[in-house]
Amino acid sequence: MRPCRRPTSARRWPVLTVENLSAGYGPVRALDSVSLSAAPGEITAVLGANGAGKTTLLRTISGLVRPSGGRISLAGRDLTGVSTEDLPALGLAHVPEGRGVLAELTVEENLRLGALGARGRATADGLRRIYDLFPVLADRRNGLAHVLSGGERQMLVIGRALLSRPKVLLLDEPSLGLAPRIVAQIFDLLRALVRDDGLAVVLVEQNARSALSIADHGVVLNLGEVVVRRDAATLVADDDLRHAYLGF
Ligand SMILES: Nc1ncnc2c1ncn2[C@@H]1O[C@H](COP(=O)(O)OP(=O)(O)O)[C@@H](O)[C@H]1O
Ligand SMILES: [Mg+2]
């Protein structure tokens, strides 16, 4: 356990609240009355097997999938009917699975795209902040994005999202396909960022062990439903829950 994790009793007021959210694709019900929240300075890990509904949850929060029921609110504002393009300006950033970058643009050009339409601008200060956080991106700022390694690409898409100065960051499987050492490096940075900047993070991961090592709370989805909700330390310490739902 890392010492910087705060006890549950210190839980802050949530900035993102999802209540009884349901969504699907035609006859497929992918989310069934899911509730969760994310508070400033905290990481909420959303865990579960392939097909559990994790990506659908993030896509529904960011307006890419239309909910069939429930409510989403960001800093007290109802997000129902708000279009995806307007969300960065309201403080919501979504890093989808797959680390999509514009391969023929430079690292810095990719970063600048993150500030379009958002609360922040790609100011020298904003860029410096990202380069301080991810020095490897500073080293490669004028290089084309397609030469980056998987870990560097992951840093680039996170950095791009941070340039919009979000209150809430949704991250979909950032560890997928990366070496454990790189995952540890990215997760350590994420933990420090959350602690220092008071960002609220919803971290979707199949890699439960790594995610829970930096998370404050854990929510396990199974077939679109929340089956477990605990603070992260409790979830890790409970052998039965861990074996039953997390596979480690
Ligand atoms: N675009 C889609 N069209 C139809 N079904 C989908 C689509 N995307 C996901 N699904 C289905 O929704 C369920 C949840 O998928 P998803 O949210 O991608 O899960 P996870 O991210 O946890 O792997 C699965 O049954 C999946 O097959
Ligand atoms: Mg997914």
The dihedral of CA 114, 59, 207, 192: what is its sign? Answer: positive
List the single range of 49-53, 62-66, 79-83 with lowest mean pLDDT: 79-83
Of the residues 55, 59, 205, which should be mutated to test ligand 1's pocket, given the most ligand atoms within 8 Å of the CB?
Answer: 55
Report pLDDT for 81.
81
pLDDT score of 119? 58
- Which atom of ligand 1 lies closest to the CA of 31? 14
C-beta of 60 in contact with ligand 1 (< 6 A): no
What are the structural domain ranges in the chain?
A: 13-97+168-246
Beta-carbon contacts of 4 under 8 Å, excluding residues fewer than 6 positions away, are 191, 195
pLDDT surpassing 80 at residue 210: yes
pLDDT number for residue 200:
97
Domain 13-97+168-246 coded CATH 3.40.50.300: yes
Residue 12 has pLDDT above 70, yes or no: yes
Cβ–ligand 1 contact at 25 (below 6 Å)? yes
Each residue's pLDDT tens digit, 158-209: 999 999 899 999 999 999 999 999 999 999 999 999 999 999 999 999 999 9
At residue 5, the pLDDT reads 53
Instruction: Give pLDDT, residue 123.
Output: 80
- Residue-wise pLDDT for 16-53, tens only, equals 999 999 999 999 999 999 999 999 999 999 999 999 99
Residue 72 has pLDDT above 90, yes or no: yes
For residue 3, pLDDT over 70 is answered with no
| Ligand 1 pocket, residue 98 CB under 6 Å | no
Ligand 1 atom at minimal distance to the Cα of residue 48: 22
pLDDT at 21: 98
pLDDT tens digits along 87-119: 998 999 999 998 889 989 999 999 998 877 655
Average pLDDT over residues 71-99: 92
pLDDT of 1 higher than 80: no
> What pLDDT, on a 0 to 100 scale, did the predictor assign at position 80?
84
Q: Which ligand is nearest to the CA of 24?
A: 1
Going by CA atoms, what residue is nearest to atom 25 of ligand 1?
A: 51
Calpha distance 20→65 (Å, rounded): 15
* Residue-level pLDDT at 6: 52
pLDDT digits (tens, 9 = 90+) for 113-151: 887 765 556 688 889 999 999 999 999 999 999 999 999
Cα 216 from Cα 42, distance rounded (Å): 6
